[in-house]
Structures are given as C-alpha cells and as structure tokens.
Amino acid sequence: MKRSRKSTKPLHLDKDFPRQNVVTRTETNDEVGLKSDSISKSLNSTFKGVRYMLVQQLLSRGMTFSMNMFLIRRSPVEMIGIVDKLDLLMATVLFLSRESIRMALLRNTSTESIIHKNQSKKLDSVHLQHSTDDGIQNQLAFNMSVIPLIGASMFVGGCILYDSANWFLFGASISVAKYMYLVAALIELIAEPSFILLQRGLLYAERVKTEGAAFLLQCLTTMVLFLFLTRSSKDNTISVVDGVWAHACAQIVFASVLLVGYTSYAHHTRLMPFRTFRMVGINQGSPKVFLDPYYANIAMTFFFQGVVKHLLTVGDRLVLVATGVGNASQGTYRLVSDLGSLVARIVFQPIEEASRAFFSKNLTNPSAADISKTLCESFEYLQSVIQLHIILGGFFVFLAPNYTHILLQLYNKFDPTTSFVLGVYCIYVPIMGINGILEAFFQGVGEEAAVRRQSYYMLWFWAVFVSTSYILISIVQMGTVGLIVSNAINMSMRIIFCFVFIQHFFQLNNSIGVLLPLKERNKLSCTFQEMLSPIALIPARMSVWILFGLSWFATYWSSFAYLIWGKLFGTLIHVAVGVICGIALLVAL
C-alpha cells in the first residue's frame, strides 16, 4: 500500500529521537533490555491477535452468512424483527453490566502506580512498571469481574417480578424465549472473569479457539432445530414462535461453550489458580482490599459514558422500537444492517479490539527508559490502521453499492427499495470503522477527566441524533435512509471528538510527555502533529482515488447488463467487471 509523502516519513528512533541516556538507579541493564523486548512482544502479540481474530471473524461470519441464506428463506420477516428485539435486550444487559469494567481492567495501571505518579514527576520506571505483582493484579481483576454478574442478576430478577405482576393482573404468559436470552447473558457473565484474565495476558489464540467453537455450535444448533421444526411444514417455512425458540436455544449453547472454553484455558494457562475472589494487598504494607480503587473509579466513569454510548450505538434500533414501526419493518432494517456491516464485523471489529488492548497496555503505564520507542511504535500503528480503514472504505463507497441487489437475491429478499437502503448503508460502514479505531485509542489511554468530558459530549451527540432522526424520518419522510444518515452524523461528531483528543495526546503535554527531555519531547511532538494532519493521513496517490471513481462508473453501468444479455449472463458480466476493478485497485495501491 503506497502512502502520501508525508505519511511515509519513517521514525528513526536512534537517529531522529535519541533515547534517554539516563537510567534510574534502580534499573539494571538487564531490566532495561527486558522492557525494550516487552514493547516489541506486545506489538507482536497485537498483530498475532489481529490475525487470529480476523480468521475467527471470517470463519464465523462466513458460517453465519451461509446459515442465514438457509434460514432467512424459511423465516417470516416478523420473526426476524422479534429476534432483533431479543438480541437488543441481551446486548443491552451485557453492555451495561460488563463493558465499563472490561475497559478498566484491560489497563496496565494500578492504584499504587497512580499514587507514585502523583508523588514525583521523575518516575522510577521499574517501580512504576512492576509496582504490583501480576498475580495480585489478576486477583483484583478477577474480584472486579464478578460485579457484572451481580448487576445482571438483579436486572433479571426485576424482569421476573414485573412479568409476574402482569401475569396476575392481565393473565399474560411469561415469554420463555426472553428468559432464555437472559439466561444466556448470565452464562456469558459467569465466564467474564476468565475472559478478562485471557485478554490481560494477550492470549488471543485461546480466545479465538473458544469463540470459533461457540459460533460453530450455535450455527449447527440453529440449523438442526430449524430442520426439525419445519419437517412437517408444507411450504418448508417455520412459524414465528418456533423460529424465536430455536434462536434462543442456540444462544444458550453459544454462551455455554464460551463458559467452558474461557474457564478451561484460564486454568490451563495458570492465569486463574484461585477459585473464589479474596482480599489482597496492592503492595507490601497496604491494607487488603477486594477492589482496586483506581479500577473502580475508572470503571464508574466508563459506565456513565457507556450508557450514553450504548444509546448512540443501538439508537437506530431503539428509534424503530419507540416509533412502533412493527416487527416486519424492524426485521427489514435488521436484514439491511446485518448485510451492510458483514465485512465491517469481519475486519474492523478484530482490529478495534486488539488495538484497544495494545494501546491500554503500552500507553497507560509506559517504561520511562523506552518512552520514545513506545510512542513511535504506537503512533505508527495508529497511523497505519487509520489508513487501512480509509482504503477499505473506498471499496465500500465506490464498489459495494452497485452489488447490493445481487446480495439480496441470495437471501430471496430483493426489492429496489431494500437494495437502495443497503447501498446507503455501505457508504455509512467506513464511517463506523474509522470511529471504532479512534475510540479504541481513546478508551485505551483516556484519563478519567477525559472520559467524563466525552460523556458530556455524548449527551449532545445523542440529542443531535434524536433530533435529526425525527426530522429526517417524520418530517422529510426519508424512512430508514434517514435513520442511516442520522447515524452517520452521530458517528462523524464522535470521530471529530476522538481525533482532537489524539492530536492533544501526541502534543505530549501530559504525564507521558514529562518523562522525555524537553528537546526530544518538542521534536517528537512536531513530527507527530505534522503526520496527524488529515491530508497526511489519506493514503495512496490521487490517481488511485480517480481509479476508484472510474470503477464506480464502470460497475454502475454493468449493473444494467441483464437488460441486454439476460439475468444470468448479465449478472456474470457485472460480477466480472467488479472483480477486474477490484484487482486493478489492489495493483494500483
């Protein structure tokens, strides 16, 4: 991939940014070397993690895609809408109960290191890096990772009481499928301590194996139940109730496999030699505690921000529920969003998760001796990932919209309106991807005050999203397209916020920058700011983007080939034109 001239300027650590020659008295040469190696190992682990999760996402989404071609042909659209509501319920329970704690526990920081950081600007890197024994940190992480299960259990109990009251008052039966989804959520939360320990240890291979097995068994369970429940149907379709029940059973299977897999690997790798949570001292002489105060405070901050973020993330589905559009319309939107974000979940999600872990591990508590190398490696990684997202976005914007009708035909759900909506969604996908990587950096390194400030901005973003959704859907009558445009506006505002934060971070007027000599800090800061300009971040030459435009023109006209050569031969010609354009773009890059 060729980049612009500014973006290809290499960062020569030894030449341009000489490392600090002064080493604190408590450091030995061996310890300095070990910390240098640990940075490279962390980066290598991140790249391996991205590869593992890319393969896992590719296989799991491929299975899901194939399964959906089988299931959706046999499923009423109303059933898809009900399943979407149940998925939304489960996702809300899981996100609100565990996401803030996950982000806090993946940080490589402890209360003791924060105290030490406040006491002295000149940090003892060995003391800062190893202030808390790994076993103690893992025990504190294990203790805190039990909290999501407690919160979710209280929520499920409240649902039971509410439904029981309705049963006595109105005679309505309790929805079995809903509680099957909630049970699946509780099972996943039981596995949360093991997941946290594996993620803190950057053991991506173990995680990928577990999630891959869970996806495989979930798909097999769904398909077997569908075949069993449709065996007596004349038109080979499933009823709404039976279809929802089959999806609920598969969800429990998925969660159970996660529990067994995560727990087994955590014990096998000796990350979890303990079986229950217990009190430990953060360092010698300190009182024993169940929870690390730093983790608790940052998790609380992330929680309030997470509530608003979740409203923004699932805001489109909440708007559909609130407006009462019906299960059929919600099912259609679910189909469009699933297909439109298929590649995004395969490619973007693994990169985002691995990047968040990488930034958290390397930039929240870096070694003073290797701060230049840490900053440069982190910056180059961030820059490369942003440019990768922009290039992938070009394929989504210029090529994908002209092939939506073929994708819908595979599902036997084609109509011109749905095809147009899916094309608009393809343009929205790159915005999601860029927002994901920028927010991964922010969540990995943002301090408590920055997270709190983002929460306030999120409230404004939510207000703008709701307002634009109402205007575009109810007044302008744009329907689901208006919902997608509102989401794009919301994501764009979040991108701007995170990009401004990243620019301020790499000005190095922070707790990391004070570890550098003034001259070196200023030189690094100037170089970072030059390479962070929007123009420098745009990869490839202008001729490549012209080729993207020509590819859109060619694939747009080839989409009408069926009018001349018939449906089958015309479709083959259209696909062939797309393949040729894609290969030409890859060669040009």
β-bridge pairing 288-289 and 280-281 = antiparallel
Q: Sign of the C-alpha dihedral, residues 106, 112, 113, 118?
A: positive
- Give the pLDDT confidence of 263-303 residue by residue, as tens digits: 888 777 666 555 566 666 666 666 677 677 777 887 887 78
- Average confidence (pLDDT) over 61-90: 75
Residues 105 and 141 sit within 8 Å (Cβ to Cβ):
yes
CB atoms near residue 26 (< 10 Å): 10
Q: Give the pLDDT score at 233.
A: 67
Arithmetic mean of pLDDT over the chain: 75
Q: Give the pLDDT score at 253.
A: 95
Q: Give the pLDDT score at 544.
A: 86
Domain ranges of the chain: 66-107+131-303, 314-537, 540-589
C-alpha closest to that of 107 among 306, 282, 360, 358:
360
pTM value > 0.75? no
Range name among 32-36, 336-340, 350-354 with the lowest pLDDT average: 32-36
Spatial separation of the C-alpha atoms in residues 178 and 160, rounded to whole Å: 11
Q: Give the pLDDT score at 27.
A: 43
pLDDT > 90 fraction of the chain, expressed in percent and rounded: 9
Q: Give the pLDDT score at 13.
A: 42
Q: Give the pLDDT score at 258.
A: 93
pLDDT band at 489 (very low <50, low <70, confident <90, very high): very high
Q: Give the pLDDT score at 259.
A: 92
- Average confidence (pLDDT) over 207-228: 86
- Average confidence (pLDDT) over 209-226: 87
- Average confidence (pLDDT) over 335-355: 76
**Who has greater pLDDT, 39 or 547?**
547
- Give the pLDDT confidence of 379-402 residue by residue, as tens digits: 888 888 898 889 888 998 999 889
The size of the chain, in residues, is: 589
Residue 262 tokens, joined: 């995560």
Q: Give the pLDDT score at 583.
A: 92
